[in-house]
Chain A
């Protein structure tokens, strides 16, 4: 048994590390190379070293794509720095390439002059052929615009772990840790969090843990000792100016999960989470299934319709019903949403949007379900729609969605997307004792009880649970009398009920904070209006142009329906309104309809988030000409 090498402090660097304000690094390799693990470990260590960061995991739809193919390339991008980071970065400063297919797929992401760290050990005839390379790009001048560091990581990993008896296949699985160790050296990160993680993950396989740690250390040691080309001596990135407190990294799916748990607790409800697996929404089901101790029941239904229907049944019986899906599944839930609107029951519907139509691009991000959320049901069927802007924002948006659902007895759709769900960022962990607790009060008094007699302020009907003596009543999807809830075919009653349902949802706006700008003045030459995951790109672009003196502001909507009540007035203060969206112009249409403003779209549906530069250039085009 070889001795596990203790982690050494870096010896006094013979050369000075190069100072950087921020860096964008992308790890890329085969689906089986453990790229996502590598990326999340680098994220953890980077967060702990005091940088701000944002990540973008970009993995293929195939579970086990054929090895060595370009469509099997899995990538993980991280933007980190001593400054405020809002996006995962437009262009990469460095790519870590584990095979020829990854080089082929990822080279367009690298900026000219950028660094390529490449495992030469995988550049065999066969792998080059699979990646459709006629010539070995490492041996011709095709990579001349970049700085290339060629390392035979395969051989060096095999050497580092040879004493652990893993066999060649097992040994090669440590290669990602070798690469990680090397990149840790390059950016002066601590290996300790990863060593702890490996020991925990492979607690039952100590040889595997030790081999991975040996590979990690070997990669790091190589960086320390080897003479690197291009006069490279590693980089150093200062601490970001981050508010003091306890932090963790969080993905959107995690923050959403915890927000639901917290939101239900804050209103004193148990939660029944009913879902059918669908990419990219499934991880929420996985996370919540492990949280039953928080008064949560999860139910994997037989289909999307059963998922929402069982959630409605749960809300009817006094739990907080939650269902979760992505666009195609949300389409299937439409009829049942109408039932929840008609029965006026609280319900949370999560939509982790993905590219459509139909099955579309399941693992690629888009924000093209805004119409579906606001309008996508039969009849006049209003409900509330919210959108989260970033991974950590999911937490508070989930709490807000629950507040609205139980206060107004209404279904609420919460929009996130594949990007927000998977991306990670550091999060200042909130103190839940500072959140207001407003327990729901169920109706228990039979005196004067009528199921559809409303609260004067909120227009919400009482929540009267089966099991309560004296409140027995019948409800359903047929039109109901505006007080008794009995079936009513009376034309005037239908007019009244339609008006009431609309007034109730519109009235939510009374409880919303007034819309403010994220950046810039509340009047001027241009407002860039966004919603959802475009937040980071828009914010960076607007900040940068404001630094140049441009008169541009950023408005970002959390409440898509109803819209904040001052939004029309706010928009009226701008000469131009630009709406960047990862769809063909859905919020733009809504704004034009609601406020008769000349909103212009900036639209992208490539399955990739906006680059900051794309938004900057759109703003420049409009303001400089």
Chain B
């Protein structure tokens, strides 16, 4: 019998490549890369079994900096290529790295369908609300009024909410984090990795060159506590510097409202408790934005369902069980044949 030696535990450095990282100095992508290298070391995956697939954009350079397998593909198509990788080898651990233009504009269709199918892979959407690589045009997540080289008078389009779109597409795992949250990011990555099926993670990522500070209204240290809420399953939805703000269901409406604990007789018992498995709640949390609401960070929704991979495997097993052993000569002779003799 072979003695199986447990693989040596890898460190974050083992997941870094020798390639020079080419993002702009101060780009939020550096922090995400660091968090990912740490996460993979922590959860103990192997380099050979991990595949990063990306499309086009600043975020799409990510695979070059991970010492795993990596495929930098074409604009918007990474979910389709990742799906193909899983179809061929469901054992591989696939991470899709994408941006707001890649995933929501040119690749919007593929995002919709990979989520709906529930292919067992992780999708990271680096949302910086701008096109970085093409030098600063507005993106599908840019807020109305965004001035950019292609919208000198301000964008007249309404932005899409990535998390709400994912939920609408039928995603079974939707989470959010922020590039600067170095403790939270690995937690979200780990949760995404644990989840069987498509895990969708939106990361608010600061583009220091073309959209600097676009998330500062809820990420700046001084005001973050009052403008973002970090979700925890089973815990009351409380936030604020003083931990005295909370979310509750607005009486008589199918809606949320922010209330202050200690005012108007409101106690902690009135505050809604976060339930990751509640899709309706997840939808409302996804759409919250300042100034009326805090931005929801963390796992908005996690409700596993059988994955696409499971379905394919089931069909394959059934076909093999019912089949005739995969004999080519038998295949060619199915149905009517006849013999001509001399």
Contacts and interface: CB of A to CB of B under 8 A. Distances in A.
B80 A318 contact: no
B260 to A, nearest CB: 46
Interface string A30-50: 000000000000001001101
Contacts of B336: 44, 48, 193, 248-249
Contacts of B17: 474
A116 B180 CA distance: 82
**B46, B87, B91, B320: most-surrounded residue (chain A CB, <10 A):** B87
Contact of B328 (A309, A314, A432): A432
B216 to A, nearest CB: 33
Interface string B263-286: 000000000000000000000000
Q: State the majority secondary structure of interface residues on B.
A: mixed
A249 B336 CA distance: 8
Interface string B309-342: 0001001100110111110110111011111111
Contacts of A336: 74, 77
B212 interface: no
A244 interface: yes
Interface string A456-495: 0000000001111111111111100000001100000000
A451 to B, nearest CB: 10
B71 A318 contact: no
A338 B56 CA distance: 14
A306 interface: yes
Contacts of A317: 51, 84-86, 88-89, 92
A321 B84 contact: yes
A428 to B, nearest CB: 8
A314 B88 contact: yes
B72 A472 contact: no
Contacts of A621: none
A433 interface: yes
B57 interface: no
A313 interface: yes
A47 B333 CA distance: 15
Given A48-B338, A293-B319, A432-B328, A306 B113 contact: yes
Interface residues of B, number: 59
A243 to B, nearest CB: 7
Given A293-B323, A313-B88, A319-B88, A433 B71 contact: no
A210 to B, nearest CB: 21
A335 interface: yes
A419 B340 CA distance: 27
A297 interface: yes
Nearest to B62: A474
Given A243-B340, A246-B337, A247-B339, A310 B109 contact: no
Contact of A467 (B84, B89, B326): B89
A598 B300 CA distance: 69
A466 B63 CA distance: 13
B339 A309 contact: no
A144 interface: no
Interface in A420-479: 429-433, 465-478
Contacts of A339: 73-74
A56 interface: no
A309 B51 contact: no
Contacts of B324: 293
A473 B69 contact: yes
Contact of B83 (A47, A242, A247, A313): A313
Contact of B71 (A262, A294, A307, A474): A474
B190 to A, nearest CB: 21
Contacts of B74: 309, 335-336, 338-339, 477
Contacts of A486: 19, 64
B71 A272 contact: no
A262 to B, nearest CB: 5
Q: State the majority secondary structure of interface residues on A.
A: mixed
B88 A247 contact: no
A472 B340 contact: no
Interface in A307-331: 307, 309-319, 321
Nearest to B319: A292
A274 interface: yes
A287 to B, nearest CB: 11
B287 to A, nearest CB: 26
B78 to A, nearest CB: 8
B328 A305 contact: no
B171 interface: no
Interface in B28-64: 46-49, 51, 53, 63-64
A47 B83 CA distance: 44
Contact of A469 (B46, B312, B333): B46
A467 B64 contact: no
Contact of A471 (B48, B82, B92, B339): B48
Nearest to B84: A313
A314 B337 contact: no
Contact of A262 (B92, B312, B328): B328
Interface in B78-110: 80-89, 91-92, 109-110
B112 interface: yes
Given A47-B338, A48-B338, A431 B329 contact: yes
Given A270-B88, A302-B110, A306-B113, A477 B72 contact: yes
A303 interface: yes
A467 B92 contact: yes
Contacts of B342: 244
Given A306-B113, A313-B53, A467 B48 contact: yes
Nearest to A428: B340
A319 B86 CA distance: 11
A302 B88 contact: no
A261 B316 contact: no
Given A310-B83, A313-B81, A467 B91 contact: yes
Given A244-B340, A474-B69, 15 more contacts: A270-B88, A297-B88, A302-B110, A306-B113, A313-B80, A313-B83, A313-B87, A319-B89, A339-B74, A343-B71, A432-B329, A466-B51, A472-B69, A473-B69, A476-B70
Give the 4 A-B residue pairs with the shortest CB-CB distance, closest first.
Answer: A313-B84, A293-B323, A476-B72, A310-B84
18 contacts: A247-B337, A247-B338, A248-B332, A261-B328, A293-B324, A294-B323, A294-B328, A294-B331, A297-B88, A309-B81, A312-B81, A314-B85, A317-B85, A317-B86, A336-B74, A474-B66, A476-B64, A486-B64
Interface of A: 44, 47-48, 50, 193, 242-249, 258, 261-262, 265, 270, 272, 274, 291-295, 297, 299, 301-303, 305-307, 309-319, 321, 335-336, 338-339, 343, 429-433, 465-478, 486-487
